[in-house]
Amino acid sequence: MQIPYTVELRSDTGLFNAKLGVWLFLASEVMLFGALFSSYVLLRVGAEHWPHGWEELNIPLATLNTVVLISSSVTMVMSWASLKLNNFKKYKMYMGLTILCALIFLVVKAFEYGHKFEIGHLPGTSTFLAIYFTLTGLHGLHVIGGIILNGYLWGPGSKMWQSAPDRFTNRVEVAGLYWHFVDLVWIFLFPVLYLL
Amino acid sequence: MSEAHAEDIKKHVRTYIMVFVALLALTVVTVAISTLHLSTFAAVTVALIIAVIKGSLVASYFMHLISEKKLIYAVLVLTVVFFVGLMFLPVGAFSDKITMP
């Protein structure tokens, strides 16, 4: 059986199915992270003492990671635009750069975590560190998920460009929606955890 | 692919670059302001305003929300309503005096 509406638009929604599906998924993701942000507010307001982010965390490294993740969002959207312009070579380059940026993000994060563990700052040390590790850990899992997804679309999955180019372009577009969401979450995590 | 379509995409690409520069600039601004160590209220307000601007740029241009179908907007309006509800849960928790010792 053929999957319907991978390219042509459904007349009632005006969308191809994957786009609506991914947006609904992202809506559920907003609630997942929203619940944790809400918990953060509750914990912080209820705490007798709450450290400033800059006392506990490494702001230069986090700023670097912010730049890395924003750059990866740009290369992601450029990879989609390259497919729209029929330039598969450029797609490969931009998608490769997106994955590279995601890996750099994880390496920097690993250094941050490693340093925390070295000085004995574990999730159980304080409420601040508990919510810090929960939020950044969940976000990190999303980055890993994005690397797997984008890695597939860069490697074996890119064969679809030969057989069904429009369908493949749509796949890259919705993978982009997910990846930009991961960037969006970090845009809020960074000031909330590090700068306040 | 038609000429007009390719021109459209090229225009998009120029927009992406401008958004990229804006996001970098706003990152620098928010970090710079954090070094001033403002009062908690001022710091939270400024940081959240900048984060909302950055988030809107990503959602509008990279996620193409600036020109999307009605159904997607409907889904997002519902999401925002529930998200705001979530953010107000702590307020409810703190006004519940029964749980206070």
In a domain, A41, yes or no: yes
The CA radius of gyration of chain A, in Å to the nearest whole number, is 19
Q: How far apart are CA A25 and CA A52, in angstroms?
A: 33
CB contact under 8 A, A70 and B20: yes
B84 and A CB contact within 8 Å: no
Q: What is the pLDDT of residue B98?
A: 65
Nearest CA in chain B to A21: B72
In chain A, how many domains are there?
Answer: 1
Judged by DSSP in three states, B83 sits in helix
Contact A70 B24 (CB under 8 A): yes
For residue A139, which of A111, A106, A171 has the smallest C-alpha distance?
A106
Contact criterion met (CB < 8 Å) for A188 and B51: yes
User: Residue A67: CB partners within 8 Å, gap ≥ 6?
Assistant: B24, B27
In a domain, A75, yes or no: yes
Place of tokens 């929960």: A134
Is the CB of B86 less than 8 angstroms away from the CB of A37?
A: yes
Cβ–Cβ under 8 Å, residues B51 and B30: yes
Q: Is B24 on the interface with A (CB under 8 A)?
A: yes
CA A147/CA A141 separation, integer angstroms: 10
Q: What is the DSSP letter of A132?
A: H
- The answer, for B47 touching chain A at a CB cutoff of 8 Å, is yes
Q: Which residues of chain B does A86 touch, with a Cβ-Cβ cutoff of 8 Å?
A: 1
The pLDDT value given to residue B1: 46
DSSP annotation of A49 reads -
Least confident span in A10-14, A159-163, A188-192: A10-14
Helices (H), chain A: 17-46, 53-56, 59-84, 88-118, 127-154, 160-163, 165-189
Q: What is the CATH number of the domain that holds A99?
A: 1.20.120.80
Range of the domain at A145: 17-46+59-195
Residue B40: band (very low, low, confident or very high) from pLDDT cuts 50, 70, 90: confident
Q: Is residue A2 part of a domain?
A: no
What is the DSSP code (8-state) at residue A158?
G
From chain B, the residues in CB contact with A194 under 8 A are: 34
Q: b vs e for A98-115, b when ≥16 Cβ sit within 10 Å of the residue's Cβ?
A: bbebbbbbbebbeebeee
Give percent above pLDDT 70 in chain B: 91
pLDDT of residue B97: 67
To the nearest whole angstrom, how far is the Cα of B98 from the nearest Cα of chain A?
15
Indicate left, alpha or beta for A113 from its phi (over 0: left) and psi (-120 to 50: alpha): alpha
Selecting from A20, A27, A67 the residue whose C-beta is nearest the C-beta of B27 gives A67
pLDDT at B79 over 70: yes
Residues of A in contact with B24 (CB under 8 A): 67, 70
Average of per-residue pLDDT values in chain A: 95
Question: Considering only alpha carbons, which residue of chain A is nearest residue B19?
Answer: A74
Q: How far apart are CA A187 and CA A180, in angstroms?
A: 10
CB pairs under 8 A between A and B: 124
Question: Using CA atoms, how far apart are residues B27 and B32, in angstroms rounded to an integer?
Answer: 9
Cα separation values, A4 from A10, A16, A165, A172, B72, Å:
9, 9, 16, 18, 19
Extents of the domains making up chain B:
3-99
Q: Is residue A120 assigned to a domain?
A: yes
